Chain A
Amino acid sequence: MKTWFHQWGSPPHFYERAARWTPWFSVLALVTLAYGLIGGLVLAPMDYQQGQGYRIIFVHVPSAWMSMFIYTTLAIAGGIALIWRMKLAEVYIAAAAPLGASFTFLALLTGSLWGKPMWGTYWVWDARLTSELILLFLYLGVIALYSAIEDKRSAARAASVLALVGVVNIPIIHYSVEWWHTLHQGPTVTKFDKPSIDTAMLLPLLSMALGFTFYFAALALVRMRLGLLQRERYSRWVSDMLNQSQVKS
Chain B
Amino acid sequence: MTPRRRRMLFIGCLLLGLAAATALMLKAFEQNLLYFYSPSQVMAGEAPEGQRFRLGGLVKYGSVKRAEDSLDVQFVLADCEDSLPVTYRGILPDLFREGQGIVAYGQLSTGQNGRLFVADEVLAKHDENYMSPEVAESLKKPDGASCMPPGMLNAGNREN
Residues on A lying within 8 angstroms of B by beta carbon are 45-50, 54, 57, 79, 82-84, 117-121, 124-127, 164-165, 167-168, 172, 177-183, 185-188, 196-198, 200-201
Shortest Cβ gap from A171 to chain B (Å): 9
Query: In the complex, what residues of A have CB within 8 A of residue B30's CB?
Result: 180
Which secondary structure dominates where chain A touches chain B? loop
Task: Give chain B interface residues in 106-141, CB to chain A under 8 Å.
Answer: 121-137
B95 proximal to A (CB < 8 A) = yes
Known: A45-B134, A183-B36. 18 other contacts (CB 8 A): A45-B132, A46-B133, A47-B130, A47-B132, A48-B132, A48-B137, A50-B95, A118-B93, A124-B123, A127-B35, A180-B35, A181-B36, A181-B154, A185-B125, A185-B127, A186-B128, A196-B128, A196-B151
B18 proximal to A (CB < 8 A) = yes
Residue pair A119, B130 in contact (C-beta under 8 Å)? no
Residue pair B125, A119 in contact (C-beta under 8 Å)? yes
What are 16 A-B contacts defined by CB distance under 8 Å? A48-B131, A49-B127, A54-B130, A83-B11, A118-B126, A119-B125, A120-B93, A125-B35, A165-B14, A167-B15, A179-B154, A179-B155, A181-B37, A183-B35, A197-B130, A197-B131
Residue pair A185, B35 in contact (C-beta under 8 Å)? no
Residue pair B130, A201 in contact (C-beta under 8 Å)? yes
Q: How far is the CA of A177 from the CA of B126 in the complex (A)?
A: 13
Q: How far is the CA of A165 from the CA of B22 in the complex (A)?
A: 11
Q: Which of these, B22, B37, B131, B135, contacts A172 with CB under 8 Å?
A: B22
Q: How far is the CA of A84 from the CA of B15 in the complex (A)?
A: 17
CB nearest neighbor in A for B139: A48
Q: How far is the CA of A118 from the CA of B151 in the complex (A)?
A: 17
Residue pair A178, B154 in contact (C-beta under 8 Å)? yes
Q: How far is the CA of A177 from the CA of B125 in the complex (A)?
A: 12
Residues on B lying within 8 angstroms of A by beta carbon are 4, 7-8, 11, 14-15, 18-19, 22, 26, 30, 33-38, 56, 92-95, 103, 121-137, 151, 153-155
Q: How far is the CA of A171 from the CA of B13 in the complex (A)?
A: 18
Identify which of A49, A196, A200 gathers the most chain B CB atoms within 10 Å of its CB.
A49
CB nearest neighbor in A for B23: A168
**Provided the pairs A178-B154, A181-B36, A185-B151 are in contact, do residues A117 and B94 lie with their beta carbons within 8 angstroms?**
yes
Residue pair A168, B22 in contact (C-beta under 8 Å)? yes
Q: How far is the CA of A119 from the CA of B130 in the complex (A)?
A: 16
Residue pair A181, B124 in contact (C-beta under 8 Å)? no
Q: How far is the CA of A172 from the CA of B38 in the complex (A)?
A: 22
Q: How far is the CA of A117 from the CA of B94 in the complex (A)?
A: 7
Q: Which of these, B92, B132, B136, B155, contacts A180 with CB under 8 Å?
A: B155
Residue pair B123, A46 in contact (C-beta under 8 Å)? no
**Provided the pairs A168-B19, A177-B154, A181-B56 are in contact, do residues A119 and B93 lie with their beta carbons within 8 angstroms?**
yes
Query: In the complex, what residues of B have CB within 8 A of residue A188's CB?
Result: 128-130
Q: Which of these, A79, A167, A181, A201, contacts B155 with CB under 8 Å?
A: A181
Identify which of A47, A48, A181 gathers the most chain B CB atoms within 10 Å of its CB.
A181
Query: In the complex, what residues of A have CB within 8 A of residue B133's CB?
Result: 45-48
Shortest Cβ gap from A124 to chain B (Å): 7
Query: In the complex, what residues of B have CB within 8 A of residue A168's CB?
Result: 15, 18-19, 22
Q: How far is the CA of A43 from the CA of B126 in the complex (A)?
A: 23
Shortest Cβ gap from B56 to chain A (Å): 6
Q: How far is the CA of A103 from the CA of B22 in the complex (A)?
A: 25
Query: In the complex, what residues of A have CB within 8 A of residue B132's CB?
Result: 45-48, 198, 200
Residue pair A118, B128 in contact (C-beta under 8 Å)? no
Shortest Cβ gap from B111 to chain A (Å): 24
